[in-house]
Each structure stands twice: as structure tokens, then as C-alpha cells.
Amino acid sequence: MRCKTLAMGLCLIGLSTGVGMGTGIAQDKEAAGAWPRWSVAFIAHRGLAPGYPENTLAAYREAIKLGAEALEIDLRGTKDGEVVILHDETLERTTDGTGKVTDKTLAELKRLDAGKGERIPTYEEVLQLVSGTGVKLLLDIKESPVLDKKRIVDLTEKHNAVLNVIVGPRNLGDLRTFRSLNPNLRTLGFIAKTDDIEPFAHAGVDIIRLWPKWIYAEPHLVGKVHGLGRPVWTTANDAPREELEKLVKLGVNGILTDLPDVMSALLRDMRGARGL
């Protein structure tokens, strides 16, 4: 069973019995040099895995092999209303194509090379890939007038994946839209600034993402989010192990990482240190 941390009936949100019991827990743990009591969610950022192009089915398969509990994927809409996975607004960086994703049909996008012969996947293909694996999907909802939110929810429901998907809106409007389309969907707020913490929490978001630079500059922010009854996830990108350890000891509950092999080793060592 991949998810060993349950709170408020939600799996993989990383909320432990320690969260919400006071802002001093994480700091006390760090001072003691000990690992926290809670499990830390392991999310492969852009589904990355060593040697594989980002946001491709091959990368997702490898990240799962390395122990990722969730894959963070970037959703964009096509000219003909399909939902595909690509981080950038344009095609140049990660494919052999040019121009904006929104100006292309799915058929046109499928002809492109997304790296090492891989194709740009659709959201439905990723749902099929993770079906039955226990691996969750964290959806980075890119702000776009052509990204069909109802279709995202319809596809999620079609594949019986509502409890295996965490929707990540970047604004309160999108958060409210997804909550109205299916209140059972869990949500993570990809907030743009720290002033957004309370508005997103009051709007019902389940998890809040804080950037590492915010946490280092204002460590109390972790305690603030915990005090609102929400776990903190952070996007560490390609941060080395030493920085991942620091973030864990500062109290984060989940880490989006470009280095799933490094994160897997860290979590293995954490479990060993606690005799698990």
C-alpha cells in the first residue's frame, strides 16, 4: 500500500497527527536533528525520471518504478478541445514543433517528437497508465481560456479516478469551478504569493504549495499553513539531497522533485532511521 498517511479521510495529502498541534513542532524537530514523525509525500515533478524526457509516458513509468507516490503533470488545452500534457505554453523547448499548444489540434501535436521518440500524452492516456497502480496524479491546471475544466473532470470520473487525482488550480476562480464540478476532488493551491494562503484555505483547498524560497525567508509560513489545518507541499525542482532534508526538517509534508532517485533514497533512509 503506497499511501501510509491518512488524515481527514484523504490519502496522500501528507497531513500527520503533528500538523495543527502548534507551530513549534517542525522547528523543535530540526533543532533535535531528528526526522519528523509524519510521512512525506513523494511527487515526481513533471513526472521526471533520470534519462527520460519530461511529461512523457516513458518518464512516468520510470518514476513509478523509483517509488513516486504521485506524478505532477501539466494540463493544457488544444485547438480542438482535447487535454494534453505539456509544461510550456509553446512547443519549442520540449518538442521538435513550434508555436503555441492552443493553436494545434491533437492530431498535429501527436506527430511531434517530445524527446527520444516519445509523443505528447493526453490526460486520458496518463489516467490509463496509472490505473490500478495506486499512484496519484497531481494536475497543474495551466491558466488558459481553452482548457476545458469540465472535460478534465469528466475524464477523471470516466476512469473512476476521482480519489486518485489532486487538482492544482492557480486561482480562486478555477478552485471554485472544480469544487462545483465534483466536490469529492481533492485540491492543491499553486498559490502565486504568500498573501494567497488564507484566501485559498478559506475557499476550501486541501493542500497549499509553498516555494522553498518562501519557506527559507519566512519559516513560520509552514506553521501558518498547518495552523489552518492544511499540509504544505513544496516544489524543490532539482534541489540536492541536502536541501530536501532541510525542507523535511522545516516541516513540509510533500515534495515535488525532479530527482525521484534522490528522493527515494532519502525516504528510505528516513524510514530506516525510524526503524520502519
| Position 178 in a domain | yes
| Position 267 in a domain | yes
pTM: 0.90
| Position 169 in a domain | yes
Taking the CB of residue 50, how many other CB atoms lie within 10 A of it? 13
| Position 106 in a domain | yes
| Residues known to be catalytic | 45, 87
| Position 16 in a domain | no
Round to whole Å and give the CA distance between 29 and 142.
36
Residue 10 confidence (pLDDT): 46
251 CB-contact burial (10 Å; exposed 0-12 / middle 13-18 / buried 19+): buried
DSSP structure string for 55-86: TSHHHHHHHHHTT-SEEEEEEEE-TTS-EEE-
Q: pLDDT in tens for each of the 276 residues of the chain? A: 444 433 333 445 443 333 333 333 344 444 335 788 889 999 999 999 999 999 999 999 999 999 999 999 999 999 999 999 999 999 999 999 999 999 999 999 999 999 999 999 999 999 999 999 999 999 999 999 899 999 999 999 999 999 999 999 999 999 999 999 999 999 999 999 999 999 999 999 999 999 999 999 999 999 999 999 999 999 999 999 999 999 999 999 999 999 999 999 999 999 888 776
| Position 10 in a domain | no
| Position 66 in a domain | yes
Question: Can you give the residue range of the structural domain that contains 165?
Answer: 24-271
| Position 32 in a domain | yes
Residue 27 confidence (pLDDT): 43
Name the packing angle between helices 123-130 and 149-158 (round to 10°).
30
Residue 21 confidence (pLDDT): 30
Residue 37 confidence (pLDDT): 82
Provide the CATH number for the domain around residue 134.
Answer: 3.20.20.190
How many domains are contained in the chain? 1
Residue 34 confidence (pLDDT): 74
